[in-house]
Amino acid sequence: MELYGIPITSRLLLGTARYPSPAILSAAIAAARCDIITVSLRREARSGPAFRDILHATGARILPNTAGCHTVKEAVTTAHMARELFNTPWIKLELIGHADTLQPDVFQLVEAARILAEDGFQIFPYTTDDLIVGERLLAAGCQVLMPWGAPIGSGQGLRNLPALRSMRAHFPGVPLIVDAGIGAPSHAAQAMEAGFDAVLLNTAVALAADPVTMAGAFAEATAAGHAAHRAGLMPPRDMAAPSTPIFGMAELA
């Protein structure tokens, strides 16, 4: 997998918020074997340089995000600050439009993506599973799409799997990363089995009773789901089909 020309080995992206301690966060990132971790600029601003040093020490590539932004101006300003702070053109673009569901405001999202792309940013937009919105984001300059599986932090899994499958079929050459709503390793495996390129999650690991073990479970589930997709899943059938054919069996008088 390549994201903006960068080879990526792991197909699990991990968030860095809400962990019990910096030590557990570092151990979870190691157990997840992830190449990319996301961090909110607002979280970094509260935690200071020490937190930034912890993130850099993991060896993972940092993907800053615009979490908490509700307007184009907020998102663009936050993205510029993140680029200066983390010295990266990568930005996970979040523009929230609904306070309860945290659903992205796709109209402002497309506009912010256009502005940032023109300024040299490489954008990872948190979006819905709407095909037209996806086309608009690609036209604005995005090369990756990150549709939600369910509302952020809900742990509901893939609430609209048919729509996600349609998105995968509609954008065959575009890296697609399921972002938000994944609550169990089985959800991650399901996304990968559907042909998605990666999954991004935070809460399911950070708030687990044992975040480090859970991070490892997600790493294994993501790898297994991707391997299953490449191997070729059997199609579901309406009727039973015997695994042992009756042709050639002995006839007993």
pLDDT in tens, 43-100: 665 666 888 899 999 999 999 999 999 999 999 999 999 999 999 999 999 999 988 8
The Cα 88–Cα 34 span in angstroms is 18
Backbone φ and ψ for 127, nearest 5 degrees, come out as -135, -175
User: Does residue 253 have a pLDDT over 80?
Assistant: no
Neighbours of 45 (CB within 10 A): 11
The Cα 42–Cα 62 span in angstroms is 15
Beta strands in the chain (DSSP E): 2-3, 6-7, 12-15, 36-40, 61-65, 90-93, 122-127, 146-147, 177-179, 198-201
Q: For 5-23, write each residue's pLDDT tens digit.
A: 999 999 999 999 999 999 9
What pLDDT does 181 receive? 94
Beta strands in 113-196 (DSSP E): 122-127, 146-147, 177-179
Looking at the annotation, which residues are catalytic? 92
To which residue do tokens 């497309």 refer? 110
What pLDDT does 252 receive? 66
What pLDDT does 70 receive? 95
Give pTM, 2 decimals.
0.92
Mean pLDDT of 127-149: 98
What pLDDT does 8 receive? 96
Question: Between 27 and 249, whose confidence is greater?
Answer: 27
Burial of 82 (0-12, 13-18, 19+ CB in 10 A): buried
